[in-house]
Structure 1
Amino acid sequence: MKRILFVCIENACRSQMAEAFARRYGREAVAVYSAGSRPSGKIDPKTVEAMWEVGYDLTKHTSKSLREIPDIEYDAVITMGCGDECPMVKAKHREDWAIPDPKHWPIDQFREVRNRIEQKVQGLLESLKITSPL
């Protein structure tokens, strides 16, 4: 089983969407986590709406701190563009996707970010040799 961690500052939007897509497409082949360097404590309502539109319910997700995730070596740690804000986490592979935070954007632009994250997650899973049953 591969272990993946997605990190952004608030863990309220981008990393939550990435976690959701990795869970959807990776199924039992991955253990997926997301966290924030300064978590907001809540999931952005537009994130919940945007993921609901593609059939994923984020209402049970919570915004978490990096201190709340397992202290293990991850197969991949993906940051969403938070740069120096994200502390080092043990990882075999590390990548920054440089995805802008859409929290103040209109829903159409928000959806574009969601779709970009979905594509990047699918590419990540392929690179880790994880095939989707969907």
Structure 2
Amino acid sequence: MKKIYFIANDDSSRSQIAKGFAQKDLPSDWEVHSAGIEKGSVNPRAVAVMAENGIDIYQTDTAFIDINYYKNCDIIVTLCGEAQDNLPDVKTRATIINWDIPNPVRCERNDAERILMMRLISQKIATKVQKLANKLVKTAI
């Protein structure tokens, strides 16, 4: 089974969203996980926006980076510079891909803007995941 890891700051929004879309878009022979360099809790706005997309991340737990999974991944996708800069200092066989996705939590002003930002970020992530999934299927990593 092939493995992909989505890593962000605290596994509360971006990495959870990416994992949700990847589980939908990648073939069943891909194992998909997400993690954070810190552990947070799933953002309720991320849950709501993913539900709008027909993807349930409500029951998802957040996680720290699992070193064994990290070492044995085929693909690691960091969703922000902080995650990229703080990856574990261990050898991995993975191809590392860096996406600079703004943190929707840091873009908050009022409730309407918060949910709008989460929608915009989720669509940006959805597009990137779909392109990556198409590439992985074509190249059969």
Same-fold call, TM cutoff 0.5: yes
- CA offsets, 1:58-113, max 9 Å, x none? 11101101137635421110000123133246143111101011024321121010
Partner of 2:12, secondary structure, is coil
- Write out aligned runs for 1:75-94 (5 A): 75-81=74-80, 82=82, 83-88=84-89, 90-94=92-96
Match of 2:121 among 86, 89, 113: 113
Amino-acid identity (%): 29
Partner of 2:26, secondary structure, is helix
Residues of 1 paired with 2:76 and 2:117: CA distance? 25
Partner of 2:31, secondary structure, is strand
TM-score (norm 1): 0.87
- Write out aligned runs for 1:1-134 (5 A): 1-40=1-40, 42-67=41-66, 70-81=69-80, 82=82, 83-88=84-89, 90-104=92-106, 105=108, 106-129=114-137
Relative distance call for 1:88 and 1:21 in structure 2 (3 A) is farther
Residues of 1 paired with 2:101 and 2:70: CA distance? 25
Q: Whose helix proportion is higher, 1 or 2?
A: 2
Q: What amino acid maps onto 1:127 in structure 2?
A: K
- CA offsets, 1:26-82, max 9 Å, x none? 141310010111111x10111101101111111110110113763542111000012
CA RMSD between the two structures: 2.0
Relative distance call for 1:72 and 1:84 in structure 2 (3 A) is closer
Q: What amino acid maps onto 2:8 in structure 1?
A: C
Residues of 2 paired with 1:54 and 1:128: CA distance? 22
Q: What amino acid maps onto 2:63 in structure 1?
A: K
Partner of 2:137, secondary structure, is coil
Residues of 1 paired with 2:42 and 2:68: CA distance? 17
TM-score (norm 2): 0.83
Q: What amino acid maps onto 1:61 in structure 2?
A: T
| Structure label with greater radius of gyration | 2
**Contiguous gaps of at least 5 residues in structure 1:** none
Partner of 1:28, secondary structure, is coil
Structure 1 runs of 4+ with >6 Å offset: none
